[in-house]
Every structure is written in C-alpha cells, then in structure tokens.
Amino acid sequence: MVFKSTFSILLVATLAVISNLTPQAEAHSWADCIDWKPDGSSNQWTKGKCLGYARRYPTKPKFASLDDADPNRHYQQAHKNVNSQPACSDGKVGEEPGADETRPAKIPDAYYKTSGKNSAWGKMTVTTAGDTLCVRWPAKNHAGDRDGGRVLINWMKDDLKKNHPQSELNKFQITTLDYSACDKAQNSDVRPCGGCFKVPAKSTPGMYLLQWRWRLNSNEWYTSCADVQVTGSGSSASTTSAAAPLPTCK
C-alpha cells in the first residue's frame, strides 16, 4: 500500500512537471485582417492577400502568433459592466489589455507609412458602399466547440472621438459571422477562419469605425478595431488616390 501510494504521488508530480514544461496553446483571438481577398482556392482563409488591417497592426509576425507579442493583440474587455468598457483597447484596461487600438488624432498615423514605426504596420482598408469585406481571424482552438459562438460586426461613422464605451458601438451592429467558419488544418490553434459581409449600401463617403467583437463563453468579449474609408459606391478601391479627405480628431 505504501509503495502504491508513493508511486501515485510520484506519477502526479511527474505529470504536473510535464504539464508546466509543455507550451499551452492560447485560447484568445483577434481580427488578423479586415480586408481579406481569397485567391479562389478551397482554403479561402489560408490562400489570399490582406489589403487592410486593424489599427497599428504589425504585419511581419507569423499568422496567429500575436498572442505572444508584447503587447499582444487579444484585448479582452473587463467582465464587470462590460458595456461600459472601452470598445477599442487602450493598452491599459481590461481583463487582458492588448495593444493600443484607439483612434489617433490623424487616422493615417495608425497605418502603414514608408518610414518610421509605421513601416511595420498594415495598410488601412479602403472600400465602397455595397462592396463585400471579408475579415479573417485565427481559430485559437475554438473552431469546433460550442464556446466558439458568433462574431459581431459593428459599423459606426467616424465622429472624431478617440474611443467609445461599448454601449455606443452596440447600437451599430450590422451583421454576425460564424466564428467556426475555418479552413482545415492539423493545428487547431492556428487554423485561419473568417467571414464576409456587405458594406451598408447607405454608407456615405468618409471614415468608419469597424469593430470585430467575439464572445467566448458567457462573459468573455474580445475586440479589434479598424478604420475603413468609404469612397463611394461600386467596386472596391485599391488605393487612396480618389479617397475623401481624412478628418482630424480634435
């Protein structure tokens, strides 16, 4: 009996050590791309090109790796009074603060430029009213379970504010996407997923705030924020040459 008891203790201790030494896959997610263009293959979220990103989004790291970055990209809003929490991460508050995705005074300052720190960030999305936008995200081990839930897309005309309470963005929900719409992959942590929606046809030219918001379990909300420039109606624009003037935050 003593031998069995000692063996059991050693076995439990060994398993605990192995568990601590084995890297654990993250279970958080974020919007990896705001304007994803599939190449037409069956793996539509794996093969394609990203034309627009969230605010201050670094494009050099590997897909699905930004949960290990400093700061990370998975902003989880505080559980208490969640609708009063910042809609976009300020890099300071939240269950997991994430990276700064607040609106800069000049919107282009949160996107790609040829020099400086902006050269590592992605481009801003430019589109047209009635066009289709496809958003991509990593599965992070939740593509096939019931906790995966839905992704909410909120779409609000820019009002020059640096940030908003979540209750304000909730008024502008335009669609929901299936979180589990993912390509097949052996590694469920890095499976690419995504969904598409129509830019509201009544969107007048100008800047809009797009919020990607995903609920995990009953009270865990993750968000990503991006600026989208609407240039008119018709097919999607690929450059900003004909874009409307960009407003400046006061």
Alpha helices in the chain (DSSP H): 2-21, 166-169
Distances (CA, A) of 114 to 36, 96, 109, 157: 22, 31, 12, 28
Q: Is 62 in a helix, a strand, or coil?
A: coil
Domain residue extents for the chain = 33-233
| Pick from 1-15, 133-147, 233-247: least confident | 233-247
The pLDDT value recorded for residue 1 is 53
Higher pLDDT, 232 or 55: 55
Whether 247 shows a pLDDT value over 50: the answer reads no
Whether 73 shows a pLDDT value over 90: the answer reads yes
Amino acid at 69: A
Q: How many CA atoms lie within 13 A of 61 on its CB side?
A: 15
Q: Which residues contact 7 (CB under 8 A, 6 or more apart)?
A: none
Q: Rounded mean pLDDT of the chain?
A: 85
The domain made up of 33-233 has a fold known as: Coagulation Factor XIII; Chain A, domain 1 (2.70.50)
Number of other residues whose CB lies within 10 A of the CB of residue 14: 10
Cis peptide before 108 (omega within 30 of 0): no
Q: Summarize the confidence of residues 25-54 as an average pLDDT.
A: 90
Whether 37 shows a pLDDT value over 50: the answer reads yes
